[in-house]
Structure 1
Amino acid sequence: MPQHTPHAPFAEGQIGHDLLTRLDEAARYSQPGPGVTRLFCSPEHRQVLPLIEQWMELAGLTPELDAAGSLVGRCPNAQAGKPTLTLGSHQDSVVEGGKYDGMLGIAVPLIALEALRREGITLPYGVEVVAFGDEEGVRFPTTLVGSRALAGTTDPQQLKARDKQGISLKEALRSFGVEPDGIPALARDPANTLGFVEVHIEQGPRLEQHDHAVGVVTSLTGIERHQVTVSGKAGHAGTTPMPGRHDALVGASEMVLAVDRVLQTTEGLVGVVGQLDVHPNAVNVIPASVTFTVELRSPQSETRQRGHETIQAALDEVAERRELTLSMDNTYRADGAHCAEWIMHGLEQACATVEQPTDRMFSGAGHDGLAMQDVTDIGMLFVRCKEGLSHHPDESISAEDGEAAVRVIMAFLQQLDAFRCR
């Protein structure tokens, strides 16, 4: 990182104000409608990149769009091959999501690095900040494309996944202006990677309940996703007798309720049927087929497996009884991840340095750390969000909490070598 100080240090309270201003600006790059809708390799994704590039340059980093669609900013030490700490999060959103989920974890480390640069502080190791292209898995039936690329665990089958328009992930990346054949070369060297740290809104109420601005994450939940296809037989809604119909939607409706029953009665397991598509989706035609998703979450792989098997048996029973055909295909699976003790301790010490009380807490959401754990130690800092609300247009944090998170990361970066030597 450059030795000079190009600008005066941030004034008291300016960091939090500038952080929210940046996140407001990033939220403008969205499809029309409530909240933020910015999907992977979309026009909105392309449009937000110059803004993030500006943030990276202010932090003393050189930005580059990689073959997986992630924007990576690297400091001179990282470019020179020194051991490097990776920070960052995702720029993509769910449909009609909030402005802080993901983007906060890009803006916080960049402002932290900019603040250190303004103070003339040079870090002795490399730093890279990554704006991952895809974490939400909304456009394609796969996810963690960018972080799996850095971890060196990309499955070539991922690139064959298609969106609802029939565009493959490989085609989307090429249209976006990158060459996906270069993804294998993105894998980071574990011996040269110091760790991965992500800042994220909590997506839950615990910090608010404890009146804490930040929290240290202990582990991330495991996730698996399935695509279920129910096939029946189309027919005229007015002339086909009710007895003997093979209505795929009626069968799928019963299956959705069966999924909910399993989730309600299996301890330690949560999930959702989040998408449902009906064909031919006409007002006077008996539905011929229905496709829906089943997502299961638990930190214990055994719990997810048991839930999956119970759900599969329940769906098979409905299909057999209603004379429908059924397929249930796994589209994504990631085991839970434990955060490294040295990173948790380091974040706690950084919180103490800036006089921020904190707790250790579990994440019920999945993050890019699920992929990054395969290449390096991971850690995560949660930031309080109003009413624990996330994946919603009303997602909200305060400038004071945002500044607290930035100052924690600044302290963590300056004390990193001491934490790692423990």
Structure 2
Amino acid sequence: MTALRKSGAYDRAEELRLAGFLFDEIARMSPDVEGVSRPAFSDIETKTLSFLEDFARREGLEVWYDAGLNANFCLPGDRDAERYTVIGSHVDSVPFGGNFDGLAGVVAGLLCLVRARREGGKFAFPVHVLAMRGEESAWFGPCYIGSKALTGTLSASDVAARHKGDGRTLDAHMEAIGIDMAPVRAGKPLIDLSRIEAYLELHIEQGPLLIGKAVPAAVVSGIRGNIRYRSLRCIGEAGHSGAVPRAFRRDPVLAMADLLVRLDESWATILAKGDDLVLTSGIVGTDPEKHAMTRIPDQVSFSLDIRSQSARVLDEMRDLLKTEMAQIERDRKVRFELDEELRVAPALCDAGLVARLSKAMETVGQEPFVMASGGGHDAAVFSAAGVPAGMVFVRNRNGSHNPQEAMELPDLLSATDIVHQYLMVAP
């Protein structure tokens, strides 16, 4: 392993090699058939945190685990600071995912600590780096599990959610790795939120804007909230594909298609009015035990993910969804069933943090650029809990949640420079 030299002088090439080492080793620990998989609250996730712990201790950093069994790192002497800034992100991934989503933010935070440690410098404010568990919704349904547990906002329905593979509850999985679930179930914060001066999160961009603008990094202005339904069902009536005339059909697939088209048309109208919205149905299927080319299905299930930076737009879309379903039920003689709604409120990044991060971006020689986040992040949870939150994006090709994520290490360091500069200047 290569580390930054202890000469007191910053060495860019050494930092690039150090970042590459961390990403490569963790990828080797968590391979899937394609890409990587680090399931939330799994042995692989624990192994990843243990690897980061060993690395940090070798670098002379303090390490500890909070009540949610997330790993925390800081410079010697800063653990018990009365107030501190948190740099956080997650280490879990989706199945067959990329290696940079979440992990890039943890690595960037560690690089800031190591850079300060090697240079013998001191941040303007004590800094804790937080490597969290369980951000991705792919494993249990609820998202931001680790940060919700820390802030006391993990709901009873969240902990009752079942793992997509083994069917065990989130509660059981968290308890199995050693988390005391009593305060989590009671909705009590696992950390003292009043001590956190600010929460910062560095993350790969999950869209193409920075690629298109040919800039390596950006400051984030806000994070879309979302309404999610993991499994909606449209129930109709089975029949022979050739024998049932249109007037007598109760076809759930066409009813679902009708609904999605209506929502899509409303989406275009909302955008034309200048409001923000994205809408996705990423899981669609009839029963594989029954479906056939010559059979009208009796039901179809599908997911729905509605996102906006406006809480008002989210509320309006929920109302519209129910209105359109009711109309289609009457027109097509079907029935829609909604499963539990999962909601995360939109979060604006703290205006002061956006301004100071933009100033830091300018100071390190980058043209300040501010953009909104389409994807959700743990920063939204901390913001909702009253902690000033800010984010920095890193340019990344090919989106995220797939093995083709293509963040380049020089871009990561450009984004890390922004965070490091911010940390070195008192508010």
The TM-score with structure 2 as length reference comes to: 0.85
Q: Report the CA distance between 1:196 and its aligned residue.
A: 0.1
1:174-213 map, 5 Å: 174-183=175-184, 184=187, 186-213=189-216
Q: Report the CA distance between 1:234 and its aligned residue.
A: 7.4
1:401-420 map, 5 Å: 401-415=411-425, 418-419=426-427
Decide whether aligned partners of structure 1 residues 68 and 292 sit closer, same or farther in structure 2, where only a CA change above 3 A counts. Answer: farther
**RMSD over aligned Cα atoms:** 2.9
1:19-38 map, 5 Å: 19-30=19-30, 32-38=32-38
2:277 maps to what in 1? 269
Cα distance in 2 for residues equivalent to 1:343 and 1:36: 33
Decide whether aligned partners of structure 1 residues 318 and 64 sit closer, same or farther in structure 2, where only a CA change above 3 A counts. Answer: farther
1:292-331 map, 5 Å: 292-331=302-341
1:168 maps to what in 2? 169
Q: Report the CA distance between 1:353 and its aligned residue.
A: 3.1
What are the Cα deviations for residues 213-235 of structure 1, in whole angstroms up to 9, with x where unaligned?
Answer: 22111111121112443253676
Q: How many residues align?
A: 412
1:80 maps to what in 2? 80
Could you tell me which amino acid in structure 1 is paired with residue 216 of structure 2? A
5+ residue gaps, structure 2: none
Q: Is the 8 A contact 1:232 1:288 kept in 2?
A: yes
2:264 maps to what in 1? 260
Secondary structure in 2 aligned to 1:99? Answer: coil
Could you tell me which amino acid in structure 2 is paired with residue 384 of structure 1? R
Q: Report the CA distance between 1:212 and its aligned residue.
A: 2.4
Q: Report the CA distance between 1:326 and its aligned residue.
A: 1.8
Shifted more, 161-170 versus 232-241: the winner is 232-241
1:348 maps to what in 2? 358
Q: Is the 8 A contact 2:66 2:191 kept in 1?
A: no
Q: Is the 8 A contact 2:124 2:423 kept in 1?
A: no
Q: Is the 8 A contact 2:79 2:128 kept in 1?
A: no
Secondary structure in 2 aligned to 1:13? Answer: helix
Q: Is the 8 A contact 1:147 1:372 kept in 2?
A: yes
Q: Is the 8 A contact 2:67 2:190 kept in 1?
A: no
Secondary structure in 2 aligned to 1:159? Answer: helix
Could you tell me which amino acid in structure 2 is paired with residue 216 of structure 1? V
Q: Is the 8 A contact 1:280 1:288 kept in 2?
A: no
1:111 maps to what in 2? 111
Q: Is the 8 A contact 1:34 1:96 kept in 2?
A: yes
Cα distance in 2 for residues equivalent to 1:390 and 1:360: 20
Decide whether aligned partners of structure 1 residues 331 and 92 sit closer, same or farther in structure 2, where only a CA change above 3 A counts. Answer: farther
Decide whether aligned partners of structure 1 residues 227 and 242 sit closer, same or farther in structure 2, where only a CA change above 3 A counts. Answer: farther
Could you tell me which amino acid in structure 2 is paired with residue 7 of structure 1? K
5+ residue gaps, structure 1: none
Q: Is the 8 A contact 2:241 2:296 kept in 1?
A: no
Cα distance in 2 for residues equivalent to 1:380 and 1:348: 11
Equivalent position to 1:386, from 392, 397, 410: 397
Cα distance in 1 for residues equivalent to 2:209 and 2:170: 37
Cα distance in 2 for residues equivalent to 1:348 and 1:60: 31
Decide whether aligned partners of structure 1 residues 178 and 12 sit closer, same or farther in structure 2, where only a CA change above 3 A counts. Answer: same
